[in-house]
Amino acid sequence: MHIETNSAKVREARTYALELLLSEHVGDCEAPCRVICPASMNIPLMIRQIMGGQLSEALLTVKEHIPLPAVLGRICSAPCEKGCRRRKFDDPVGICLLKRHVADIDLASASPYVPACRAASGKKVAIAGSGPTGLSAAYFLRRNGHECTVFDKMPEPGGALRYEAPEETLPRSVLDDEIEIIRKLGVRFEMNTPICESFSLTDLTAKFDAVVIATGRMELQNENWCAGVATGARGVEVEKGVFATNLAGVYAGGDAVIPLRMAVRSVGNGRSIATAIDCFLANGGRPPAKRFNSRMGKLAHNDMDEFLKGAALSPHLIAGAADDGGYSVQEAVAEAARCLHCDCRDVESCKLRLYADEYGAKQATFKGEERGAFRRICEHEDIIYEPGKCIKCGLCVRITAEEGEALGLAFQGRGFSTQVGVPFGDSLADALTKSAARCAEACPTGALALLGTK
């Protein structure tokens, strides 16, 4: 007998099966707020951590993606809030002030958090420009173990954040505090160093393993400095999403590439550049492709009612009552409680997402006219059940039988309309009296998921 497990035909059949599953899938892998955030911060996780009083964990979540949260908490135009699903009901969740709350509490503590750095890679990176793009790139590159030197013509780092943002909006002490953390990571700053006059790009590429051009647009007008780098009408030309220029090892981002008009975009660029350089320095490779992201699109049916289950119906707290315009602890918890938790609880471990990535499966291939309704069953204190994400594998049905549940779970209906549910319309709490955690762990998708802050 000859068995093929990975031939082109087998892979094609698997892709077909995956796309059929995805065509009827109802749920978002990542929440709309996170998808739209240029820094891709895990907003719903931060919110759950704030609700649970886990402020140190919330700070870690923020700092995985944003090196300057207290700064951005004061000046960001918050595109995430424009994409927040809660807007469809009343007003968005105050994501920006929540992030600021977490960051301010840390900065005011006796020892603000300084992330750990990976072991020294032995590689050196030069960063031209100390604005939000340069600072962000330096923060993430240093965390990845690379030696980083930031050059800037001005006496103090911060670029437009320091020399353009009004003091009443962004107190310089806040900027200084967050830059101090980047310094503590081990990033070196060479200030009063006009890069165009001090070094040619060739000097830098000879001395460093990679170079980041984050100078903003003005300095780029000195063409002598960046001779050899391809430029267009708007700025340095880079490969989309990778930020690599035409010269190997030279990357560019922020206003040097295109006027961004949004500091959070520059911060996001800095992180993407650091990821690309990390892969380049490791083995000349490229950064991983964007992950598959199931999207349920516009709300329909009674979707909003389902999302509102468990969310506070209180109105949006616009500005905090605290002296400086931030949220107090009580306000932060109250605002966080308004979140609809639009993300999937199994976003990192879901096998459907994993295989969709591996096989390049598309959700829209077999798209029907109207998608099914979103449902969220929150009757159990340990788990939630979202039937639109169930792939009918039957694992939970088997487990509840094995565990001797009186009710358990069962297949209901026939053909395409088959669903997994509790017999006799009883509640999930009564159905899963002892097997809830085992079912959630076995479920290959986020259909049955443990509650808690993940």
| Residues making contact with ligand SF4 (CB under 6 A) | 25, 27-29, 31-33, 43-44, 47, 84-86, 93, 95, 294, 339-344, 346-347, 350, 352-353, 389-396, 420, 442-448
The helices-and-strands tally (H runs, E runs) of the chain is: 20, 9
Q: Least CB distance from residue 87 to ligand SF4, whole Å?
A: 8
For ligand SF4, the closer CB: 84 or 174 = 84
Q: Least CB distance from residue 60 to ligand SF4, whole Å?
A: 18
**How many whole angstroms separate alpha carbon 337 and alpha carbon 79?**
20
Q: Least CB distance from residue 321 to ligand SF4, whole Å?
A: 21
For ligand SF4, the closer CB: 173 or 302 = 302
For ligand SF4, the closer CB: 260 or 340 = 340
Strands 147-151 and 188-190: parallel
Q: Least CB distance from residue 385 to ligand SF4, whole Å?
A: 7
**How many whole angstroms separate alpha carbon 214 and alpha carbon 406?**
64
Instruction: Say how many C-beta atoms besides its own lie within 10 A of residue 116's C-beta.
Output: 6
What are the DSSP E strand ranges found in 326-408? 383-385
For ligand SF4, the closer CB: 84 or 165 = 84
Token pair, residue 348, equals 């990192």
Q: Least CB distance from residue 92 to ligand SF4, whole Å?
A: 6
Query: DSSP secondary structure string, 83-127?
Result: T-GGGGTSS---HHHHHHHHHHHHHTSSS------PSP-S-EEEE
First to last CA, the chain: 45
Q: Considering only CA atoms, which of 66, 18, 78 is closest in space to residue 42?
A: 66
Q: Least CB distance from residue 158 to ligand SF4, whole Å?
A: 29
- The sign of the CA dihedral 28, 29, 34, 36 is negative
Token pair, residue 280, equals 């380049």
For ligand SF4, the closer CB: 114 or 393 = 393
Q: Least CB distance from residue 408 to ligand SF4, whole Å?
A: 11
Q: Least CB distance from residue 417 to ligand SF4, whole Å?
A: 15
Length of the chain, in residues: 454
Strands 419-421 and 410-412: antiparallel
Q: Least CB distance from residue 292 to ligand SF4, whole Å?
A: 7
Q: Considering only CA atoms, which of 53, 21, 23, 28 is closest in space to residue 345?
A: 28
Q: Least CB distance from residue 445 to ligand SF4, whole Å?
A: 4
For ligand SF4, the closer CB: 90 or 197 = 90
**How many whole angstroms separate alpha carbon 339 and alpha carbon 26?**
19
Centroid of chain to Cα 320: 25
**Three-class SS state of 149:** strand
Q: Considering only CA atoms, which of 283, 231, 274, 287 is closest in space to residue 125?
A: 274
For ligand SF4, the closer CB: 142 or 380 = 380
For ligand SF4, the closer CB: 132 or 444 = 444
| CA distances for 357 relative to 287, 288, 290, 293, 344, angstroms | 15, 11, 9, 9, 16
For ligand SF4, the closer CB: 267 or 352 = 352
- The sign of the CA dihedral 385, 387, 391, 392 is positive
CB 303 within 8 A of CB 374: yes
For ligand SF4, the closer CB: 247 or 299 = 299
Token pair, residue 410, equals 């069962």
State the residue for tokens 């949260």: 69
For ligand SF4, the closer CB: 42 or 149 = 42
For ligand SF4, the closer CB: 252 or 340 = 340
Q: Least CB distance from residue 124 to ligand SF4, whole Å?
A: 39
Strand (E) or helix (H) holding 450 = strand 448-450
Q: Least CB distance from residue 290 to ligand SF4, whole Å?
A: 14
